[in-house]
Structure 1
Amino acid sequence: MTLRASLVLLVVLNLGVALWWGLRSDAPPAPAEEAPSGIARLQLLSERPDPRPTAPAVAASTETPAAPATPSATPATAAAPERCFSAGPFADTAALDAARAALAPMASRLRSREIRENGGRGWRVYLPAAADRATADASAQRLRAAGFNDLVVVGDGAEAHSIALGRFSTEARARAHATALNAAGFAARAEALGETRSRYWLDLVAGPGFDQNQARRAAGMAVRATDCATVR
């Protein structure tokens, strides 16, 4: 009887301990059973999301209202093109100065220029006289070697031992030939033949209300339209 009583007591104690353990408030909750595949899990109403749409939050606008457009400025009137004239030729600087004084009130800008004329005899290009004939001949050999074959060594007279390098009908051609010789290392010069004289011109930019006939009477000389590039 003692063994049976011991077994009964042991079973009762085990049941009591299991009951006490299940009734504890801090006992971990029993794991939720997973629903079989394909079957939705039951949800309480409090667990479902609220189906009502929420109003979107209105962000405070940071944009500043656009300022009203101001009327555009009146376009500037296009400036009238310049008109330029040349008066002359004047024989001397006295006549030039008198014309300048008469035309100054009619012009916004004035410029004088001088043109030299040689009386129609042409121009020459030459090398100045050397110390002796041997030096002149050596210069002539160097000129021919450089390709300048049109030359004459002057043997006597006031220009003995100089080298003539050609005559030209215009100043422009003479100076171009002299420039080519200078570039090759020769001290060539261009010079007008015969008496030279100067002629003077007065170039001007017309002012407001400029009258060409009135300008001609004031200058005592012809007044012709010209390119404004010559007056700059």
Structure 2
Amino acid sequence: MLLRASIVLLLALNLGVALWWAMRSPPVPEAPSAHPAGVPRLQLLSEATPQARATAASAGAADPQPEAALAEAGEAGAPRTETPPAPADASGEDAAAAPTQPSRCLALGPFADADALATARTRLQPQVLHLRTREIVEAPRGWRVMLPPLADRDAAQAAVQNLVAAGFNDHFIIATGEEANAIALGRFSGEAAARRHAANLRAAGFGAQAEPLGDAGTRHWLDVAVADGFDAAAARTETGAARADSVDCAGLAEAAAAAR
């Protein structure tokens, strides 16, 4: 019985709620807020007509942007400053002012002394891109000890007999050439040994001399870096150089950079 009474009660409640919902009055809409007079109402772009959209687009194109207006106002109130010029293009005038790259490098010389080298440097300075002076100290191939040429062969033979009597057995008579009848008294690889032997001969009464074999001394060279069109033969004639040999430009470029 209690269960049946509960079911009847729930049905009655549901019917009462449904009846109230059906018979209730609709909600009253809120009144729109009052719009200020003289102020146009905002309208979404999607709500505007095509004609209104076209008018708005043309007006926006005619009016300056806010950023541009602010920039113009700032320029009007601030002093004008000079704009620094843009750097020149390396392919333009600056490239024309760049130093010409050498097409080849030459070694002119050897010159007799430092004065001849200085004269050649002065003459070639306006014609070349870079130059440097170079000195090479050349050692002799060896040393010899000898008696200068005597009057004739008989005198040379007599000198040899005196040398043997004094205990000097290393000798040779030169038969021909500019040194005919001179007496060679030995060859040495070093200067000290040659001069020591010559001193011993002079102490024994012989006028011996120690001399280097081959050319010895300092050779002077002028290395130059030149452009196309440089006349090496004319440069040799102008400076009096015996040779004009091709050399590597790398070393000359490093020397020119270090001299700056």
Band the TM-score falls in, shorter-chain normalisation:
0.3 to 0.5
TM-score, normalised to structure 1, is: 0.35
Q: TM-score under structure 2 normalisation?
A: 0.32
Greater helix share, structure number = 2
